[in-house]
Amino acid sequence: MSLLVQKYGGTSVGNPERIRHVARRVIDTQRAGHRVVTVVSAMSGVTDGLIKLAHEVSPDPTEREMDVLLATGEQTTIALLAMAIDALGARAVSLTGAQAGIVTDGVHTQAKIANITPKQILHHLDDGAVVIVAGFQGQTMQGQVTTLGRGGSDLTAIAIASAIGADLCQIFTDVDGVYTCDPRLVPTARKLPELSYEEMLEMASLGSKVMQSRSVEFAKKFGVRFEVRSSFNDNPGTMIIDETPSMENVVIRGLSVEKNQAKVTVGAVPDRPGTAARVFNALAEARVVIDMIVQNVSANGQTDISFTLNKADLARAEEVLRPVVAEIGAGGLAARGEIAKLSVVGIGMRSHSGVAAKLFDCLARGGINIQMITTSEIKIAVIIDEASVAEAANLTHAAFGLEQGAYTA
């Protein structure tokens, strides 16, 4: 008998029929002899709908009230799933994040889990019930409702699996596993039977939203075993595993795409100590998250600083930078939305050369202009026009032969 945490995402619980389907799967798992904790998301579209509603009553809703509102999405699903399980003759108990003992810091809408005291979860499990926990939410020490950032039910599941010492955390979603690229963007994408924590983490943080990146970080740190698989069939999914020596041969495991990016250039910046600090301090104070940063070689005592950010933060960034540009005597400020980031990820990049050349060559042949480039040990990322991102992803996927699975040396 094993102890399992099963997480079902928004599409998997998107309507009453699907909730009944999940109820049957959970009961079957329990009848097969396992103890099960189920974590669920809000029904698909519900979180987005609540955010929209909030903005219809207020131009700038407070983050505290946003959390109180958004937490209702998951709360609806836990009750419905518990009722569905009950109707099928098994026993289930639903728990909110707070009841499940999830304590977070006080950063509303982006809270971090501080600790979990799974007393109620363990009590109900010992009692033979299926325990259903609301994903994405927690409570501060002071009793305030918090949420864990978009996609945060993945984090709830991984963190509970760690806290109760589960044998496995199963992330059930609307695709069969983690693919070489988002199959909605690249139809020839192939399911990966396994990948390392580090590769999964890079792919998630570079835009592959199949897993929330913070949840992967947590799993890696605490060694939580997890798999990603479909809630609609029994096909084997993708296991996330510790790196093995043979993985060094995997040059490219997958390809990630992140849309809705923007680029800002502060032009003709006087090349003297402190100017970059002034620019990025102003952005940090406004809580604008910066991704890539490029500074040109200085010419005539002046340089350009460009950086990328989420398009949603662009207006705020421009607003805080305008006075800074004047203050430091820079030449101007240029902003551009409609850009996207395309990245290739693989552990073997550490020890194999030629990946950058192959990527740039493939984009060049497609007539796709590269606006910025960054690299890390196991990834190369480029910024391109958003309009060409689907074409670029398909070309790159083909250039590395990823329709056969990972590209190995």
Residue among 14, 101, 118, 151 that touches Mg ion (CB under 5 A): 151
Size of the site for ligand ASP (CB under 6 A): 13
Phi-psi region of 127 (alpha: psi -120 to 50; beta: other; left: phi over 0): alpha
Among positions 23, 39, 40, 210, the unique one binding ligand ADP when judged by CB under 6 A: 210
Binding flag, residue 173, ligand ADP (CB under 6 A): yes
Among 63, 65, 86, 174, contact with ligand ADP (rule: CB under 6 A) = 174
Tokens of 284: 């940090």
CA 283 remoteness from chain centre: 23
Q: Figure out which of the listed residues 152, 177, 207, 254 binds ligand ASP, where binding follows CB under 6 A.
A: 152
* Alpha helices for 40-128 (secondary structure H): 46-57, 63-87, 119-126
| Distance linking the first and last C-alpha atoms of the chain | 40
**Residue 150: left (phi > 0), alpha (psi -120 to 50), or beta?**
beta
Residue 110 phi/psi, 5° resolution?
-140, 35
Tokens of 150: 């978009």
- Taken as a whole, the chain contains a residue count of 409
Q: Of these partners, ligand ASP, ligand ADP, Mg ion, none, which one is at the site of residue 152 (CB under 5 to 8 Å by kind)?
A: ligand ASP
Cβ 352 to ligand ADP, closest distance in Å?
21
Q: Is 135 in the site for Mg ion (CB under 5 A)?
A: no
Q: Which is nearer to ligand ASP, 66 or 380 (CB)?
A: 66
Distance CA 262, CA 145 (A): 32
Instruction: Give the tokens for residue 71.
Output: 């937490």
Q: Is 235 left (phi over 0), alpha (psi -120 to 50) or beta?
A: beta
Q: With CB cut-offs between 5 and 8 Å by kind, which of Mg ion, ligand ASP, ligand ADP, none does residue 150 bind?
A: ligand ASP
Applying CB under 6 A, does 135 fall inside the site for ligand ASP?
yes
User: Which of the ranges 7-15, 265-273, 349-357, 390-398 carries the binding residues for Mg ion, by CB under 5 A?
Assistant: 7-15
One of 96, 153, 215, 308 touching ligand ASP (CB under 6 A): 153
Residue among 6, 11, 30, 38 that touches ligand ADP (CB under 6 A)? 11
Please give the Cα distance from 177 to 179 (Å, whole number).
6
Chain residues in the site for Mg ion (CB under 5 A): 9, 151
Chain residues in the site for ligand ASP (CB under 6 A): 9-10, 41-42, 47, 73, 135-136, 150-154
